[in-house]
Structure 1
Amino acid sequence: MLNVARKVFDNRGWILRKAFIDEFRNDIVNLRDTQNPVLFYKEGTWARPLKNNIWEVGCAARYWLLAGQLASIEISPHLRTIMAGESFGKILSSSGQTDDLIAPMTGRVIEVNQQANTAMSALVRDNLSEGWLLWLARIELITI
């Protein structure tokens, strides 16, 4: 990434406005962050390590966005644990279809991203780029 005159350009020339990055800094993840690599799972979900056994899990919403299918993401604010291979949320499409978000790992939920739909809407409107992902929950890894 290259920061020029308060605009961030990725390798393909996309412009990500500084205002967008500042507003959604805590809700989006840069796919090209080499310090915290993203590990992809099935059906567009992913996980990445943060620190102290804490992981961030989310979805690569672009798969549904590019197909014109994504309307919103539904995750319970009262979610306490997620189990690997099981649904932890739903993607609601504009046609009324729902798809499950499959958890990439098992963990105790520490935080749910309450701004996920707001950040996703802004991504679609202004900054749809291959290099940005949406985090949905932060979890503490549990071994069973």
Structure 2
Amino acid sequence: MSHTLKERNQAADIFRLILILMVVAIHVNVFSDNPVLNFFTVDGFFRIAVPIFFIINGYFFEKNVTDVASFKIWLRRAVVLFMSWQIIYLPLYFPFDGMSGQKLVVFASEIIFGYHHLWYVSAMILGGQGFFI
């Protein structure tokens, strides 16, 4: 194994994979044909995935961000990730049918604050700043 790569926590990786599958199941409504199963899984148990992701991120943040220099590196990476996805999604939200005043305000706010589905990344950035300060 290369000395430049950090060792991976395989248990955490497997757990994250399970959580990812739970989030995907929520978004595709995997058990929509069975209301009872859907209620207990998609609308119930699977909803713990995102809070657990925040806990895992907080754990690794606290473990790896130990000083101002490492915080700046983390923040730069998180902002680049957020802005990259903002740019990728930009064409999907551009009002091609004309730019009225209201559409301009909505479009500008989406660029500044992020698209709804990027809420996790922006919350992670805000939480990291609050945690570090």
TM range (shorter): under 0.3
Larger radius of gyration: 2
Of Structure 1 and Structure 2, the greater helix share is in: 2
State the TM-score, normalizing by the size of structure 2.
Answer: 0.26
By relative contact order (CA 8 Å, sep 6+), the higher-ranking structure is 1
